[in-house]
Structures are given as structure tokens and as C-alpha cells.
Amino acid sequence: MRGYERLAEILGAEDVLNYIKELENKVKEAIENDKAIEIDPDFERKIRDRLKELIERRFDENSLNVLKSLAVLDLPIDAEVASKIYDLSALNDFIDLGLIEKRNGYLIVDETLKDLIQENVEDYHRKALEYYSNFEETLDVMTEKAYHHLMLKEYDRAFDYFIKSANQIYGRHRCVEKLIFVGEKLIGKVKEDDRLLGTLGNLYMVLKKYREAEHYYRKVMEMYDENDDRYLGVLLNIANLRYVRGDYKEAEELLKNCVSLAMDRNEEIVEKALLMLSSLYLDLNDYENAEKCLMDVLRMIYSRKDEDSLKRVAEIVNNLGYVYSRSKNYEKAERFYKEALRIYNDLNDVKGVTTALNNLCSIYVTTQNYEKAKEIIDAIERVGDMPPDLKAKYYFLKAKVLERDDPKSALELYVKAGALGFLIFRNFGINAVNYMHSLDKAEEIAKRLNLKELAGDVFVLKSAIAKVYFGIRRNIADVECGERGKAILNALKGYDTSVEVRDEVDSAFFVILQDLKASSQ
């Protein structure tokens, strides 16, 4: 509603502003008197129709056509590239009114205006494809190409980009919903329906919409005979679905069935099913069966001598170390982590080395062997750059090591671990570290050190995460905090605020501000 209100103010639409005010008063009165809210169910259409009418009157046809053509572009609009395809001089009136903002070489179109004027016109989609042809084929760009080819009824091209894009998704991403839209529109329009439906199932799994995912998996399964290896792949997907949904008994039966059907027929499926079973048993604290499954996999791949197989051996040995760590057999866990580290070092696998070092460090921290933990931290730092998930774990472990003797440094690292862990969870759905626990520790130390503004910033960050992503409301109106915390507090009040991004912590605040802004449109 706020977006409609802002647009009405710019266009001088007093009737729309009065109508919105009247609606707000009715809602407020109903809440205060604990009555049912009685408003026109068609109110949004009326507001939209009136604003569209005013837009058509206010701006000339050429300006509107250029803007409508740009409105089908879903990614930030690169002004330099767009100027080669669109007559950007026609947009000056929109820019003067603040409906289009120029920022760092990009054109930012008001989201409400963009939503109101979008039209499905062939020329707009052709120009969009011409525009996107100037960029590297990233996941975002390929998703956009899939969508615009779909709109042009170029179904084979749309399918190609749909598959290419979907194959690059490893966790929650803003492209997923749009790819699902494209995929479902392609059903019955391409030859490889089985591949299309299976991919849709995978995308719904990313969104944790398990009913929809299973619907598509079952449809694919109906296309295959039980003796077809592709049938086993779909069966494994359904087993995984049941597992992540928490239906352990059903998942266990399906996975055992996978192993039985694939034995002596498809070793890859057997390995995947056994690894999934080991994770399932680990979740149930059944360490004996978890160990047995991993040992079965290890025996299957140990005889192979190629580099890829050696890497797989290191991964399984590392996983066994985790099983022993979970069962509190720390001496055995240490031995297996060291063996994984040795193999990773032989393979010059930097990520593997960092993973094994992090796991060793976690054992020493758990057993309060801080001298060895410090040695491992030094070794991790010598490795150099590491991927975000391992960096978040490294921050957390180093904070644990430093907490007793250097609480201020530990505080900084806990904040970084929490912020980076949150960003990884938000963007990919991966729990690299317990980011809320990290932030709790940071707030606790900040209070102990009387760093009130930092403690306030962390509290605001935690509260905003709880509100925006989990729907948990907390009263955070009167909190003493720094500039980053104040930016979120102002955003919650409806103000357009931002923060300068210099590190992971700033990035966490920035992302939340962007998501708050998007949710208020």
C-alpha cells in the first residue's frame, strides 16, 4: 500500500490518497474495536486502475512505450548498455519526478510503477533478449533469457535456458520462483517432459515445497520402468524428500530399496543412498549404523586410484571423523580428521584442507585443548582464502579460542560469524554455523564490555532476522544502538535508509534493509 501512496503523491492523485486514508482508518477502527474488517474486496483493483489512468494522461506515448519496454527487465538496468537499445532521453520526466533513479550507472525504476505498466508485448521481449545478449550468461541472465524466450513462444530455447539455469542452483536463490513459472508454462510444449518435470521437482525442493516436489517426481516415475536406471534416480529423489521432511522411517525404507535395486547395477546410486542413510542414522544418533554405511561406501571406492576417487575417500574419512566426534569418541575422530587432512594435502585440495583443519579445531575447542586449537587456527590462516561457509566456521572457532583471553577480539569474530552465517543461510539455505548462537554470544560479550551501541546493533540484527525471515515480532523501538542498527529501526518505520558495505557485517544489515524495502512495496 505504501508504494501506491508514494506514486499517488507524486502524481498528485488526491482522490487515491483520500481513499487509501479511508481504508487505513477503517482497518485501524476495526482492530481497536475488535470487529471484523469491512472494506471493499475490490479496493486494490480500483486503486491500480485509477493510477494507470493518471499515468496514461500524465506522460506521452513515446515515453510510456520506452518505460514499458524497460519494465520487463527484471535485473538492475545498466544505463550504458540500455542506451544502445532504448531511447533513454524519453525518460527524463520520470527521472525528474523521482520515479526512475540513476545510481552508480544503473537505472532503478519505481517498483510500483513498473508493476502497474508491465505489458506482454512481443517487441518488449525481443528488446529484452537483445539487451541481455550484452552480458555474461550468469544464472540471473540465463533465467531472464528463459523467461523472454517463453514469452515469445520460443519453447525449445526457453527450455535450454531453463535447464542451464536450474543446473546452477544449489540453494535458495531469487531465480527459483521465476524458473518454476517458466518450467510449468513449458509442460506439454517440449520433447523432454521427463527432464522438465524432474527439474521442477528439484526446484520445489529448494523452496521446501515438498508436496509440489513429490507431485512432479511421481509423474516422472510413471514414465519409467523399474529396470530403468532413471527410475532409481527418481526413487532416490523421493527418498531424499522424505528424509529432509523428517519422515525418517519412510525415507529409510526407500533408501534401502534403492540400495537393493541398484546393487550390481548402478554403483553411483548405491553410494548416494548409503551416504543419505548415514546422514539419516546420524540424525537419529544411531552412530553404529551411520558408521557402517560410510564404511560400506569407503570399501566401494577405496580400490580406485584416480584423483577423483582419492578425493571421495578423503570426504568419507572426514565424514567418519564427524560420526566419531558426534559420538564423543574424540580420539578416533582426531585420527580420521588427520587422515582426511593428509589426503587433502596430497591432492593440494585447499578447500578440503581447510575443512579438515576446521573439524580438527572444533574437536580441540570441544575438549578445551586451546593450545592445539590455536595451532590449528594459525594453520587455517596460512591456507589463505576460503569459501564463505568455511570462513564463517573459522570465525566462530577462533572466537571460541580467544574468548577467555581476548574477549574484544572474540566479540568481533562472533559478530562476523553470525553475519556471514546468516547471509549463507539466506542465500543458499545452508547452516554453515549456528548464526543466532554466534550473535547471542556477541551480544552477551558486548554487554559485558559495556559496548552498548554494538550490543544494540547485534540485538537489532537478531530481531530483524527474526521478524523478516521467520515472522517473529519483538519490541525493538527503544534500543541504544549504532548507525547500522538505527538504519534498520528507521526502515521498520517506513523510511528509505541504507548502510555503507565494507565487510560481512555491513552486508548482513544491507541485505535485511533491501528485503525490508521489498516487503513494503
pLDDT in tens, 432-472: 899 999 999 999 999 999 999 999 999 999 999 998 888 77
| Average pLDDT of the residues in 281-300 | 96
* Tens digits of residue pLDDT in 39-55: 677 788 888 888 889 89
pLDDT band for 285, please (50, 70, 90 cuts).
Answer: very high
Give dist(CA 91, CA 107) in Å, integer: 10
Indicate the range of 38-42, 126-130, 282-286 predicted with least confidence.
Answer: 38-42
Indicate if the pLDDT at residue 478 is higher than 80: no
Most confident region among 96-100, 119-123, 136-140, 338-342 by mean pLDDT: 338-342
Is residue 506 situated within a structural domain? yes
Is residue 444 situated within a structural domain? yes
Mean residue pLDDT across the chain: 91
The domain total for the chain is: 1
Strand 77-78's sheet: what is its strand order?
77-78, 106-109, 100-103
* Tens digits of residue pLDDT in 10-19: 888 888 888 8
Indicate if the pLDDT at residue 66 is higher than 80: yes
* Tens digits of residue pLDDT in 155-179: 999 999 999 999 988 777 778 999 9
Indicate the range of 118-122, 131-135, 254-258, 516-520 predicted with least confidence.
Answer: 516-520
Share of the chain above pLDDT 70, in %: 97
CB 178 within 8 A of CB 147: yes
Is residue 416 situated within a structural domain? yes
Give dist(CA 484, CA 500) in Å, integer: 9
Is residue 15 situated within a structural domain? no
* Tens digits of residue pLDDT in 348-367: 999 999 999 999 999 999 99
Domain that holds residue 430: 410-520
Indicate if the pLDDT at residue 401 is higher than 90: yes
Is residue 358 situated within a structural domain? no
From the CB of residue 470, how many other CB atoms can be counted at a distance below 10 Å? 8
Is residue 485 situated within a structural domain? yes
Name the nearest CA neighbour of 189 among 155, 151, 154. Answer: 155
Looking at residue 482, its pLDDT comes to 93
Is residue 442 situated within a structural domain? yes
Contacts of 263 (CB under 8 A, 6+ apart): 270
- pTM (2 decimals)? 0.76
Looking at residue 308, its pLDDT comes to 80
Is residue 417 situated within a structural domain? yes
pLDDT band for 494, please (50, 70, 90 cuts).
Answer: confident
| Average pLDDT of the residues in 397-404 | 94
From the CB of residue 314, how many other CB atoms can be counted at a distance below 10 Å? 24
Half-sphere exposure of 415 (CA within 13 A, CB side): 24
Give dist(CA 314, CA 337) in Å, integer: 9
Indicate if the pLDDT at residue 518 is higher than 70: no
Indicate if the pLDDT at residue 32 is higher than 80: no
Share of the chain above pLDDT 90, in %: 66
CB 2 within 8 A of CB 496: no
CB 407 within 8 A of CB 445: yes
Name the nearest CA neighbour of 290 among 277, 272, 273, 271. Answer: 277
